[in-house]
Chains A and B, each alone.
Chain A
Amino acid sequence: MSMVPTLLSVEALSKSYGGVHAVRSVSFELRAGEILALIGPNGAGKSTCFDMLNGQNIPDSGRITLLGEDTVGRKPRAIWRLGVGRTFQITATFPTMTVRENVQVALVSYGRQLFNLWGSTAAYAREEAGRLLDLVGMGAYAGRPCGELAYGDLKRLELAIALANQPRLLLMDEPTAGMAPRERIELMRLTARIAREQSIGVLFTEHDMDVVFEHADRILVLNRGSLIAQGSPEEVRGNPQVRAIYLGEGLVYDARHREGAGA
């Protein structure tokens, strides 16, 4: 594994709100092609951690190095330009556009055509948009209004949008939240396949432990803002501390259960 370049390196990341430590000195690394899950009970600091990585939140201290660049204090759009794709816990798409147009906007941005006042968007990167939609299995829906899509399809559309800038890293916040069990597995398989094929690193948070243990190469476990364990699924499964936390919380994970702190 050491031959694979490090995409993301987090060192001693901390953030507190009014004396409460939401995230406390968290450090980890993520390599190209690796699928890394960030888990923890409600209020563990997953969302805060995530928001700091994608630029929506600024850490109190610590370093984030993304593809060799220090990203602390950069805006989400600047981080995107570095080659980071994002999906959200609750999908964020453009409901007044068609499915294809949703992807085309991302491609327009990637092609630095945002201030082009005269061209036709309909013709812009039409094939590329189609290819991305095909990749996530949404090719047949390209002309449909995005506002009419079922939720599972919206998730896949989001993935296509996230792939538009040919990212090196995907940040996915609860990618399967709100989906039916079969859809979850399909979506994660799809994500894993794309990640492996294109050597994209994936960092995701997730409540559904089936999804986590089936797809993650490695797992980070947060509790009360601190990283209490990390390792392969087997290592984490065997960790007594992790077991204690999760047994204390009850082992039933409701995927629709929203995270409290920092949400």
Chain B
Amino acid sequence: MAFYFVQFLTGLASAASLFLVASGLSIIFGVTRIVNFAHGAFYMLGAYMAFTLTERFSGALGFWGGIVAAALVVAAIGVLVEMVLLRRIYHAPELFQLLATFGLTLMVQDIVVLIWGPDDLLGRRAPSFRGAVDFFGQNIPSYDLFLIALSPVVLGVLWLLFQRTRWGVLVRAATQDRDMVAALGVNQKWLFTSVFALGVFLAALGGALQIPRDAVHHALDLRIIVEVFVVVVIGGLGSIIGAFVAAVLVSELNAFGILIFPKISIILVFLVMAVVLIVRPWGLFGKPEAAARRTPGLTVNPWRPLTSGERLMSLGALVLAAMLPLFAGNYALTVGSEIAIYVIFAASLHFLMSVGGLASFGHAAYFGLGAYGVAFLAKAAGLPMIVSLLLGPLLGLLGAAVFGFFAVQLSGVYFAMLTLAFAQIVWSIAFQWVTVTGGDNGILGVWPDKWASSPASFYWLSLAVAALAVAVLRVIVFSPFGFALRATRDSPLRSEAIGINGKRVQWTAFVISGTVAGIGGALFAYLKGSVFPDSLGISLSVDALVMVLLGGVETVSGAIIGAIVFKAANIWLVSQTDLSKLVLGGFIVLMVVAFPKGIVGTLETIRNRWRSPEKKSALAMSRIETAE
């Protein structure tokens, strides 16, 4: 019995650090609607900073002072980030801020290695919390008890802050209705800055408090960020108490789960999230999201199919691209094939995101399923390449059909997180089911048949499939179905009132998108000659998001440019420098500031402004916000 009680306490201690970080993320999201991908980076900075400070100053004061000072320093960095970077892009399309914080995260990963070196660092133990307390023969680390006590204290302080201060009232009001607070004449800028600072402070504190238990290293951010997102979503976005309950739930399930299923940790949080979201679509303590209002001042020019001139130009560009093998070497052709494949992948997500309004955070699942589909068919069944290529993507289709059915019942960030959960579940199956998938050692030897084995022919194949996929998706955009999908995105109320079954339309779009992603994955398997669980992983899903956002989510085909720019920059930088993350992250941050609507989106805006200067005045006079 003592054992179970101690295991319960151990779970609570794990929950404490998770809660601190999660509450910060939840507060930031609640008010600013920013999906702060850099939250893990702030956590990591907190740990590094605390390491430096506690090493420098001795004694109990040095330690505890160092922890708090570290969190404050990092919070100040957070303020700087908010004022210099995020303020510029609050009015950018939804999720665009994710791109900026993703860029920051990349940069921080390299920066900490530059400052603190590559080795794992072992911080001091907390003074007077070094040992363990004996509980009927079971040892509980006293630092665990400290953490267990700390989290309700933090919860209480936050509660007081939100319930009993004017600032807290404003934050709560802003969480419910941002526009209302703006209307009340509150200085929204400083409200956002202070909220961001508080959130970052909590993240950094969470990181700093880990140093007596953990090693400080440059991968801490990725270790925590996804898990924290999951906790926030399980609890309900913007709900602090929800974050607390979810952190405890997840940690306890893990603490007891491993007693029965020692391998469960790898997937547990995602399983819990999937179940919670299916049963309670807004998390345990969340409320249904108010229908997102379109940001005022953001007129969208109605999409139109290509004019015949543009069509000719595209064709010309395609012919030009097809001439690459005449003057480029094998490496360039292989890179070209890879970029073409990423164009397919990005276009598939773009279709779902921009036409369907559904931002998937787990799109790699369908890419990877397509790749595994091919690998199974080619290796296990020994089918020829052309057959595998045609049938492999069906696995992506199947996955999209099953997961999409559940995912489209949700919307917004909850949709995003459920797709992420499904992707992680698929990933962990591929990762763990060694006998079938080879685990992380993957499936090798999936090489193209002779007719496609030369770099030039494979390049032509990839280019042709990419062109076809993009063309088909464009046709669908302007088909009746495409309009039904956009209608569902624009106004669920109106589309339901004209007889559109929104869920079914979205589901169909999900399946189309997943299938196209699967086609990309199928080609990818042959390009690389092998398939690894990476091709289902979070980082690939994030890459796809980045490509779409970089291209411009409000465009018809912006993802194509996004994919080309991102992938080419990525391959080139990785080849040229070991600091590729720093440079790539900086590049992304610059792009975000320079092209707040994405590359294509911003270019289109400029072109439209050129084209119709007279329209602007009429527009200013007649604009009335259309809310739903």
Q: Do any beta carbons of A and B sit within 8 angstroms of each other in the complex?
A: yes
Measured CB to CB, the residues of A under 8 A from B are: 54, 75-77, 80-81, 86, 88, 90-98, 101, 104-106, 108-110, 113-122, 124, 145-151, 154, 161, 164-165
List residues of chain A with CB within 8 A of the CB of B624. Answer: 150-151, 154
Q: Cβ of B483 and Cβ of A118 under 8 Å apart?
A: no
Contact mask for chain B residues 300-330; partner A; CB cutoff 8 A; 1 contact, 0 none:
1111010000000000000000000000000
Chain B residue nearest to A148 (CB atoms) is B619
CB-CB under 8 A for A119 and B479, given A91-B626, A101-B302: yes
Q: Cβ of B499 and Cβ of A97 under 8 Å apart?
A: no
Contact mask for chain B residues 587-628; partner A; CB cutoff 8 A; 1 contact, 0 none:
000000000000000000000000000010011001110111
Chain A residue nearest to B508 (CB atoms) is A115
Min Cβ gap B400→A in Å is 16
Q: Cβ of B483 and Cβ of A145 under 8 Å apart?
A: no
Bound complex: CA A88 to CA B497 (Å)? 10
- B390 within 8 A of partner (CB): no
CB-CB under 8 A for A77 and B501, given A92-B494, A94-B490: yes
- B91 within 8 A of partner (CB): no
List residues of chain B with CB within 8 A of the CB of A151. Answer: 624
CB-CB under 8 A for A113 and B487, given A76-B497, A90-B627: no
CB-CB under 8 A for A147 and B626, given A95-B294, A115-B481: yes
Min Cβ gap B625→A in Å is 9
Q: Cβ of A145 and Cβ of B481 under 8 Å apart?
A: no
List residues of chain B with CB within 8 A of the CB of A95. Answer: 294, 300, 490-491, 626
Chain B residue nearest to A81 (CB atoms) is B499
Contact of B494 among A94, A115, A119 (CB under 8 A): A94
Chain A residue nearest to B303 (CB atoms) is A96
- B77 within 8 A of partner (CB): no
Chain A residue nearest to B489 (CB atoms) is A96
- B299 within 8 A of partner (CB): yes
- B285 within 8 A of partner (CB): no
Min Cβ gap B54→A in Å is 54
Bound complex: CA A81 to CA B496 (Å)? 11
Contact of A149 among B476, B494, B495, B622 (CB under 8 A): B622
Bound complex: CA A118 to CA B305 (Å)? 13
Q: Cβ of A113 and Cβ of B480 under 8 Å apart?
A: yes
Chain A residue nearest to B512 (CB atoms) is A117
Question: Which of B483, B487, B499 is the most central at the interface, judged by chain A CB atoms within 10 Å of its CB?
Answer: B499
Q: Cβ of A114 and Cβ of B481 under 8 Å apart?
A: yes
Interface size of B as a range: 35 or more
Chain B residue nearest to A100 (CB atoms) is B302
List residues of chain B with CB within 8 A of the CB of A115. Answer: 480-481, 484, 505, 508
- B475 within 8 A of partner (CB): yes
Tell me the B458-507 residues at the A interface (CB within 8 Å): 475-476, 478-484, 486-487, 490-491, 493-501, 505
The 8 closest A-B pairs by CB, nearest first: A92-B494, A94-B490, A116-B480, A108-B480, A96-B300, A106-B498, A113-B480, A80-B499
List residues of chain A with CB within 8 A of the CB of B491. Answer: 92-95
Measured CB to CB, the residues of B under 8 A from A are: 294, 299-303, 305, 475-476, 478-484, 486-487, 490-491, 493-501, 505, 508, 512, 615, 618-619, 622-624, 626-628
Contact of A147 among B299, B478, B500 (CB under 8 A): B299
- Can you add 12 more A-B contacts, CB < 8 Å, to A92-B494, A120-B478? A92-B497, A95-B300, A96-B486, A97-B490, A98-B302, A105-B487, A115-B484, A116-B481, A121-B478, A121-B482, A148-B618, A148-B622
Bound complex: CA A247 to CA B300 (Å)? 46
Interface contacts (Cβ under 8 Å), in number, total: 134
List residues of chain B with CB within 8 A of the CB of A121. Answer: 478-480, 482-483
Bound complex: CA A194 to CA B325 (Å)? 65
Q: Cβ of A77 and Cβ of B500 under 8 Å apart?
A: yes
Chain B residue nearest to A114 (CB atoms) is B484
CB-CB under 8 A for A165 and B478, given A98-B302, A105-B484: no
Bound complex: CA A121 to CA B482 (Å)? 9
Min Cβ gap B347→A in Å is 16
CB-CB under 8 A for A104 and B483, given A86-B497, A94-B494, A109-B498: yes
Contact of B493 among A88, A96, A122, A154 (CB under 8 A): A88
Min Cβ gap A66→B in Å is 15
List residues of chain B with CB within 8 A of the CB of A91. Answer: 626
List residues of chain A with CB within 8 A of the CB of B497. Answer: 54, 76-77, 80, 86, 88, 92
Bound complex: CA A54 to CA B622 (Å)? 31
List residues of chain A with CB within 8 A of the CB of B495. Answer: 94, 105
Bound complex: CA A150 to CA B500 (Å)? 26
Chain B residue nearest to A111 (CB atoms) is B480
List residues of chain B with CB within 8 A of the CB of A88. Answer: 493-494, 497
Q: Cβ of B498 and Cβ of A80 under 8 Å apart?
A: yes
Chain B residue nearest to A153 (CB atoms) is B622
Q: Cβ of B619 and Cβ of A94 under 8 Å apart?
A: no
Contact of B490 among A75, A96, A118 (CB under 8 A): A96
Bound complex: CA A94 to CA B496 (Å)? 12
List residues of chain B with CB within 8 A of the CB of A98. Answer: 302
Q: Cβ of A76 and Cβ of B496 under 8 Å apart?
A: yes
CB-CB under 8 A for A75 and B481, given A93-B626, A97-B486: no
Bound complex: CA A133 to CA B8 (Å)? 67
List residues of chain B with CB within 8 A of the CB of A92. Answer: 491, 493-494, 497, 628
List residues of chain B with CB within 8 A of the CB of A86. Answer: 497
Question: Which of A81, A106, A150, A164 is the most central at the interface, judged by chain B CB atoms within 10 Å of its CB?
Answer: A106
List residues of chain B with CB within 8 A of the CB of A145. Answer: 299-302
Bound complex: CA A241 to CA B6 (Å)? 70
List residues of chain A with CB within 8 A of the CB of B475. Answer: 117-118
Min Cβ gap B362→A in Å is 24
Bound complex: CA A164 to CA B491 (Å)? 17
What are 8 of the A-B contact pairs (CB < 8 Å)? A90-B627, A94-B491, A96-B303, A98-B302, A115-B480, A116-B480, A116-B481, A148-B622
Min Cβ gap B198→A in Å is 34
List residues of chain A with CB within 8 A of the CB of B500. Answer: 77, 105, 109, 114
Q: Cβ of B479 and Cβ of A117 under 8 Å apart?
A: yes
Question: Which of B302, B490, B618, B623 is the most central at the interface, judged by chain A CB atoms within 10 Å of its CB?
Answer: B302
List residues of chain B with CB within 8 A of the CB of A93. Answer: 490-491, 494, 626
Q: Cβ of B302 and Cβ of A97 under 8 Å apart?
A: yes
Chain A residue nearest to B621 (CB atoms) is A150
CB-CB under 8 A for A75 and B496, given A116-B479, A122-B478, A145-B300: yes
Q: Cβ of B628 and Cβ of A164 under 8 Å apart?
A: no
CB-CB under 8 A for A117 and B476, given A90-B627, A147-B300, A147-B626: yes
Min Cβ gap B481→A in Å is 5
Bound complex: CA A96 to CA B498 (Å)? 17
Min Cβ gap A183→B in Å is 13
List residues of chain B with CB within 8 A of the CB of A110. Answer: 498-499
List residues of chain B with CB within 8 A of the CB of A80. Answer: 497-499
Min Cβ gap A224→B in Å is 27
List residues of chain B with CB within 8 A of the CB of A164. Answer: 498
Min Cβ gap B510→A in Å is 14
List residues of chain B with CB within 8 A of the CB of A54. Answer: 497
List residues of chain B with CB within 8 A of the CB of A94. Answer: 486-487, 490-491, 494-495
